[in-house]
Amino acid sequence: MKKKLNIGMIGYGFMGRTHSNAFRTAPNFFDLPYEPVLKTVCARNAEKAKGFADQWGYESVETDWRAVVESKDIDVVDIASPNDTHHEIAIAAAKAGKMVMCEKPLGRNPKESEEMTAAVEAAGVPNMVWYNYRRVPAVTLAKQLIDEGRLGRIFHYRTVFLQDWTISADLPQGGAGLWRLDASVSGSGVTGDLLAHNIDTAMWLNGQIEEVTALTETFIKTRKHSLTGEDQPVTIDDASLFLARFSNGSLATFEATRYARGHKALYTFEINGEKGSLKWDLHDLHRLEYFEYSPEGKLRGWKSIHITDSDHPYMSHWWVPGLQIGYEHTFVHQAADFITAVGEGKSAAPTFRDALKTDYVTDAVLSSAKSRQWVKAKTV
Amino acid sequence: MKKKLNIGMIGYGFMGRTHSNAFRTAPNFFDLPYEPVLKTVCARNAEKAKGFADQWGYESVETDWRAVVESKDIDVVDIASPNDTHHEIAIAAAKAGKMVMCEKPLGRNPKESEEMTAAVEAAGVPNMVWYNYRRVPAVTLAKQLIDEGRLGRIFHYRTVFLQDWTISADLPQGGAGLWRLDASVSGSGVTGDLLAHNIDTAMWLNGQIEEVTALTETFIKTRKHSLTGEDQPVTIDDASLFLARFSNGSLATFEATRYARGHKALYTFEINGEKGSLKWDLHDLHRLEYFEYSPEGKLRGWKSIHITDSDHPYMSHWWVPGLQIGYEHTFVHQAADFITAVGEGKSAAPTFRDALKTDYVTDAVLSSAKSRQWVKAKTV
Amino acid sequence: MKKKLNIGMIGYGFMGRTHSNAFRTAPNFFDLPYEPVLKTVCARNAEKAKGFADQWGYESVETDWRAVVESKDIDVVDIASPNDTHHEIAIAAAKAGKMVMCEKPLGRNPKESEEMTAAVEAAGVPNMVWYNYRRVPAVTLAKQLIDEGRLGRIFHYRTVFLQDWTISADLPQGGAGLWRLDASVSGSGVTGDLLAHNIDTAMWLNGQIEEVTALTETFIKTRKHSLTGEDQPVTIDDASLFLARFSNGSLATFEATRYARGHKALYTFEINGEKGSLKWDLHDLHRLEYFEYSPEGKLRGWKSIHITDSDHPYMSHWWVPGLQIGYEHTFVHQAADFITAVGEGKSAAPTFRDALKTDYVTDAVLSSAKSRQWVKAKTV
Amino acid sequence: MKKKLNIGMIGYGFMGRTHSNAFRTAPNFFDLPYEPVLKTVCARNAEKAKGFADQWGYESVETDWRAVVESKDIDVVDIASPNDTHHEIAIAAAKAGKMVMCEKPLGRNPKESEEMTAAVEAAGVPNMVWYNYRRVPAVTLAKQLIDEGRLGRIFHYRTVFLQDWTISADLPQGGAGLWRLDASVSGSGVTGDLLAHNIDTAMWLNGQIEEVTALTETFIKTRKHSLTGEDQPVTIDDASLFLARFSNGSLATFEATRYARGHKALYTFEINGEKGSLKWDLHDLHRLEYFEYSPEGKLRGWKSIHITDSDHPYMSHWWVPGLQIGYEHTFVHQAADFITAVGEGKSAAPTFRDALKTDYVTDAVLSSAKSRQWVKAKTV
């Protein structure tokens, strides 16, 4: 009989669902050292917490996150609530000796993130931030191929995260489902929400970003607030673009926007090296495009690898060749990796410290956009 | 508190996993009239049954399927064991008054399928056959568009199911994981295993297939048997192709093979009508290609619809636009639809009778391949 | 100073343009033993002949093809007029000792084609039929790869030619631009017009087609005649499908239609062998898809080869890597190959005899569609 | 009988071929007010000039461009020689009253370009710069759709030009075929050679670029000189990236490089507006991707328009639907448009003045890369 790992979930929104599903599903497909238990879900609204608990099989509900953090029954505090809650909860959880998982971005700004990182490291508790796209099997394979040296010296990296859901001027801001449009809650707009994913993956694959020159824009200047009904200035960035130089000498373009008509969640990256190149996009997340330089010129071309074979990362746990997996599997993989790491008393990547590095870059981006100067990213 | 729907699962192989996952996952994402309970799993090998039960959370195990069929605790018998067991178990389950779900194809031949259909209909029990590809959201959307009359009069249908996993002459036949290569267990080769899917979808979308002219082949004539170690004649068809005429006057090509190098599970279909056309393939199952005829000629083109929006079939239950689902979700949808139908005392499509119609066509195909004549498909 | 090769062009329609352009362009890009000269163009309508001659630079015009055939000034008679004229002109030209080029298909039926073949062979004159798609560089590369043994034993071939320009019931038949819809002129419908291309390429790549079972259909039964204005029965096949077995044991599906909404000229083929597969389509004619079997499973995938490098067939004559060529280049290549062959006193493939083989298969297809039996193709 | 337009071609390299082919081919496919005549080709090497003249049918050769500029027989001077010759020849030709066509970029720097522009405008002669990609039918269609207001307010533009032919450190620099790697001849590296195309198209489609922040790099610092055999510093930029803000408020990323392994000449652009988006790439130049916003959400998707219909720009002059054209056709279109404009005594776009605007932007890019500051582009 396996030991239990009791989860206390803070939040019940979109990310509450992906995390809950991850804990529920991981043990069916992975051989884990602990059995994760959906112990408690916490939300300020008791009724909504109850509904969520019923849907997912949580054993109990709380309306005050402090009760979760302090509960003897809880092993892991998983923070899936809006960004303005991360800092306080994570630090309290760490101080209470809980393992801490946190939705990205870590804090709303580097200061929050530094304090959160210090807290989990002082407490010595396993921790992780949910930059889930590292665990898309195609992305993990890209990492493997790069680490095997198959691309050689890297020259270029380019990446975008394109959405179109805020184009309408009639879309309100603020309130429950719309806190991502309120900088006081979210910290920033697409820079922290979307571009942070691009940056996390990019630095995982291609090393440290040294310096950036950035450009941000807020296309719609005022929006009605969903609670007050009044027009208020929009405080977030709608679009965020930057050029970067990596420590390895390669050059990059980054772009995130919610104004790219026709794209729902088109996260893409491409990396070009001396010996090969790789391309990936989230709209067909089960494929990886690979160009391998070869002297046999007449057969050179981009290969589309359908990432569904048992020798692809994570895929031996799922189905048979040709049968693709989807978005939520990335969270299942991350939950499985975390629980496996916990079995050895460790954190799983990306840790709070890894996520802090990303926050330093998003901070440099926002700073450069304001100062109109090249800005070096702080490193850890 | 919801009423329970107790599942008795026969089989623990690939399909045992997809069905178990479907029952476990459906209630988290769909609002269902019953709570499905993984009550009992049955396998001849007690140890394997126990391992499977532990992995998926079955409450008990059995080694004799008759015990499941006769158990007071079981509401639904789900047959996920090899094809040669379907007939006996389904009839016994129906006679015992159980609801019956059965992996496809229904029987090994029309006679078996007719008797199975008669049994569930005589018993009046809800029943369903797991032709899961109808519940790919893109395929369901195709059905909706056709039913809305968007394609107009249909002229052509073409469909293939291409695999490459049996090309090596060193692959043995028979035994546990390889019963699909033994006609005495499976009934036929790719005709029943793959082409049956093509036929089920085709008749769902485009109506009755009237007559066929077919060609089958066994490329590797003998293979070592995995248990005896001796070379034995291969009894299945490795490839199966046919031309067809539908009742609506449209013409079709069908092809299934396990010798199409480079394709893992490339199930595709295309349908051409007077006013529009649709294309789909399983390797990118979250997309539907749509051509809509329009007088504005200069903008005509095929549209690639990324089936991840809340107004796409089933998708409001999952994530947000841009985030794709995968293979196993088709079983989740089918489980959810079955449980919903049971709430109204009904079967869900495709029923045993629907599956019998498909078996009549596969039988016509095998018969035509043998006689080298056009053969009419029997109808129900 | 190069010797001249004087061309007498019969016809000024679509194919008259592609051939004229080929002769005009070939010497700029290829080093040829002769300088082709656009000597005479022939059309029954003198005014149209004159207009065409002005547009393309023909030195003279004729209204009677016999004058061209008998002219001392003409070296090559190129037949680009409707199918019902091929037989008489080709035989007369051969008897007059002219080299003969003929648009495909060769004759309207095997009897015509046999007599034409006999005539050029008796006369010993270089000859060629314009099955231009062999000279798409991607298709020629496919031929090279197959001949190098890169695919190994072949299991499957599948090919379609899909158009949608005759779907409207308002389209008339007969007359100048519409002779392809009149079987007395064209010989057959899509079988000879489109499927003949599929068959020519298929037998070039994969050897002799042994036997077929076919299905044809005329979807619109009567159409107004463009000259008489009266409704008349449609005499051609609108769609033509067949299954085939090649001499090498591989199996095939063939389909051609003018009722596939959304497709303009979608000629595609795919060939699957033990060691690799190839795919091509005319709508992106500058690409070849290649799957190479390799033990390194995790990197297996289809490669898209952009056929624009100097080591690709014909491409060293054009531009630089990345810059594609188009449709008419296939005729330029064929003209260049013919003139090169003439320099050695030879024919270029496909010869009249090669085209006769294709006609035997189209004849078997039409015969099988009528008899509803498998029919063996006659061979030469 | 049409009036002649006598062409004096300066240069016989890659661009000499594309221009010569354009003049030779245009009259066969377009109805033009003049008949272009390949009168004289000029190259310093008499033998090479003679060979080129033979290949393309030039009536005479010269080794001194001044003889061409001053010749009474010449109407149009077409400058297809290396960049360091453009300035002197164009000014002399204008002073001699000739019409002037010039390969891009106009000069090596804005000063040269300003003087060239002043010269043709002072002389009042028709002029044009060969930014050929405007005349890809898909690109012209993009322009039409934007001008029709189909995209609405524009938010984003992104464009790259990716090549990989200079990755090898063994590639020498300088000399005949390699002058593009020598800044004293070319003016700059990829900024003027590739990015200039991106900028020309971008400003044509989306208006003036206001300001930029740029980053350039020379990856291989020294290369052997092809003539001296000695290692010399590389003077050009290997890669050039910039962020931009357009006058209409939209944001952009631009990138050009010769170090993107796997890409031959991948020129792409995408433009996102409130009501729609467009995408195009040179590797499949005959397609345009179009997303049209529509309230009918479930059918939204990107449409791939195969630009081969007679109602697509320029395409009524070529073949039938489905049959693509290639790279050199863009020059044919530009030649045809120029000759048509000359018929009305006008220049064709892009004129020298249009090209000067592009040079101001490339200059701003190079300046920003050096100063590490945002730089405003000068306007005309």
Model pLDDT for residues A133-156, shown as the tens digit of each residue: 999 999 999 999 999 999 999 999
Give the closest-approach CA distance of C22 to chain A in angstroms: 26
Alpha-carbon separation of residue C183 from C193, C200, C237, D244 (angstroms): 11, 21, 9, 61
Distance CA D288, CA D145 (A): 11
Q: Which pair of structure tokens corresponds to residue A309?
A: 């074979």
Q: Say which of B18, B28, B320 has its CB closest to residue A21.
A: B28
Instruction: Find the length of chain C.
Output: 380
Interface of A with B in 17-36 (CB under 8 A): 18, 20-21, 24-25, 27-28
Helix (H) or strand (E) holding D200: helix D196-206
CA–CA gap between residue D38 and residue D57 (Å, rounded):
7
Q: Which of B46-50, B359-363, C1-5, D127-131 has the lowest mean pLDDT?
A: C1-5
Q: Tell me A366's DSSP state.
A: H
- Taking CB atoms and an 8 Å cutoff, what residues of chain A touch D280? none
Q: Region A307-332: what's the mean pLDDT? A: 97
Give A260's contacts in chain D (Cβ within 8 Å). Answer: 155-156, 272, 277
Q: Does B275 touch chain D (CB under 8 A)?
A: no
When pLDDT is averaged across residues B17-24 and rounded to a whole number, the result is 98
Amino acid at position B104, single letter? K
Q: Which of residues 302-361 of D touch C (CB under 8 A)?
A: 306, 308-309, 318-329
* Position B320 pLDDT exceeds 70: yes
Left, alpha or beta for C269 (phi > 0: left; psi -120 to 50: alpha)?
Answer: beta
Q: How far is CA C193 from the centre of its chain?
A: 9
b/e burial code for range D121-155 (CB count within 10 A of at least 16 → b): eebebbbbbbbbbbbbbbbbbbeebbeeebbeebb
Q: Count of H helices and E strands in chain B?
A: 11, 17
pLDDT category of residue D213 using cuts at 50, 70 and 90: very high
Query: With contact defined as beta carbons under 8 Å apart, do B50 and B61 qualify?
Result: yes
Cβ neighbours of B122 (radius 10 Å)? 11
Q: List the end-to-end C-alpha distance of chain D, in Å, as a whole number.
A: 41
Cβ <8 Å between B156 and C259? yes
Which of A298, A304, A308 is the best mutation test for C, with the most CBs of C within 10 A? A298
Supply the pLDDT for residue C2: 85
Contacts of C271 in chain B (CB under 8 A): none
User: How many contacts, defined by CB atoms under 8 Å, are there between C and D?
Assistant: 94
Interface contact flag, C215 B243, Cβ < 8 Å: yes
Query: What chains are in contact with C, requiring at least 3 Cβ pairs below 8 Å?
Result: A, B, D
By C-alpha distance, which of A117, A122, A111 is closest to A187? Answer: A111
Asked if residues A197 and A131 have their Cβ atoms less than 8 Å apart, the reply is yes
Helix (H, G, I), strand (E, B) or coil at D252: strand
Q: Region D330-343: what's the mean pLDDT?
A: 98
In the numeric block, which tokens belong to residue A264? Answer: 């729902």
Cα–Cα distances in angstroms (integers) from residue A305 to residues A240, B55, B327, C297, D284, in the given order:
31, 31, 17, 10, 21
Q: How confident is the model at residue B231 (pLDDT cuts 50, 70, 90)?
A: very high
Query: Nearest-CA distance from D188 to chain A in Å?
Result: 19
Q: Which chains contact A through at least 3 pairs of Cβ atoms less than 8 Å apart?
A: B, C, D
Element (H, E) at A339: helix A329-343
pLDDT over 90 percentage in chain A? 93
The predicted-structure confidence for B253-301, as pLDDT tens digits, reads as follows 999 999 999 999 999 999 999 999 999 999 999 999 999 998 778 999 9
Which residue intervals of chain C are DSSP H helices?
A: 14-29, 46-56, 65-70, 86-95, 110-123, 137-147, 183-186, 190, 196-206, 329-343, 352-371
3-class secondary-structure state, position A292: strand
Q: What is the mean pLDDT of residues D100-126?
A: 98
| Cβ distance of A243 and D245 shorter than 8 Å | no
> Residues B83-104: what's their mean pLDDT?
98
Question: Under 8 Å CB-to-CB from A296, ≥6 apart: which residues?
Answer: none
pLDDT at B1: 67
Gap from A256 CA to chain C (nearest CA, Å): 29
Q: For B261, which of C162, C262, C274 is closest by C-beta distance?
A: C274
Q: Is the ipTM of this complex over 0.90?
A: yes
At residue B231, what is the residue type?
D
The number of C-beta contacts closer than 8 angstroms across A and B is 94
Provide the 8-state DSSP code for D195. Answer: I
Provide the pLDDT for residue D1: 66
Average pLDDT, chain D: 96
Angle between helices C14-29 and D46-56 (to 10 degrees): 170
Contact C318, C329 (CB under 8 A): yes
- Longest Cα–Cα distance of chain D, Å, equals 66
Nearest to C322 among D283, D328, D329 (CB): D283
Contacts with C65 (C-beta within 8 Å, 6 or more apart), sequence order: C10, C42, C81, C85, C89, C92
Long-range contacts of A87-95, Cβ-Cβ distance < 8 Å, separation of 24 or more:
A87/A112, A87/A115, A87/A116, A89/A10, A89/A65, A90/A116, A90/A119, A90/A120, A90/A352, A91/A115, A91/A116, A91/A119, A92/A65, A92/A66, A93/A69, A94/A119, A94/A120, A94/A122, A94/A123, A94/A125, A94/A127, A95/A119, A95/A123
Residue of D nearest to A279 (CA): D262
Degrees, nearest 5: CA angle B203-B206-B211: 65
Beta strands, E only, chain D:
3-10, 34-42, 60-62, 76-79, 99-102, 127-129, 154-162, 209-217, 222-224, 231-233, 239-246, 251-257, 266-273, 276-281, 287-292, 302-306, 375-376
Contact list, A151 vs chain C (CB under 8 Å): none
Per-residue pLDDT reduced to its tens digit, B233-250: 999 999 999 999 999 999
Question: Given a cut of 80, is residue B68 above it in pLDDT?
Answer: yes
- Report the chain B residue with the minimal C-alpha distance to residue D295: B311
Q: Which residue of C has its CA nearest to B279?
A: C262
SS3 label, residue C280:
strand
**C259 in contact with B, Cβ within 8 Å:** yes
Cross-chain Cβ contact B322/A266 below 8 Å: yes
CA angle C302, C308, C310 (to 5 degrees): 115
- CB burial string A13-26: b at 16+ within 10 A, e below: bebbbbbbbbbbbb
Whether A284 has its CB under 8 Å from any CB of chain C: the answer is no
Q: Which residues of D touch A277 (CB under 8 A)?
A: 260-263
Spatial separation of the C-alpha atoms in residues A26 and D316, rounded to whole Å: 59
Cα C153 to Cα B9, C272, C276, D111: the distances in Å are 43, 9, 9, 65
Query: Which of B14, B24, B322 comes nearest A282 by C-beta?
Result: B322
Least confident of A92-101, A312-321, B201-210, D170-179: D170-179
Q: Is residue A61 a contact partner of residue B65, using CB atoms and an 8 Å limit?
A: no
Does the beta carbon of C275 lie under 8 angstroms from any beta carbon of chain A?
no
Element of type H or E holding B292: strand B287-292
**Contact between C285 and D324 using a beta-carbon 8 Å cutoff:** yes
- Joined tokens for residue C292: 């190479």
* Host H or E run for residue A99: strand A99-102
Q: Which residues, given as ranges, of chain C have pLDDT below 70? A: 1
Q: Sorting pLDDT into bands at 50, 70 and 90, what band is B334? A: very high
Mutate to test the interface with D, among B303, B305, B312, B315 (most CBs of D within 10 A): B303
Spatial CB neighbours of A267, under 8 Å, sequence gap ≥ 6: A133, A159, A160, A161, A162, A194, A197, A198, A281, A282
Residue with tokens 């947000």: B320
The answer to whether C68 and C161 are in contact (CB under 8 A) is: no
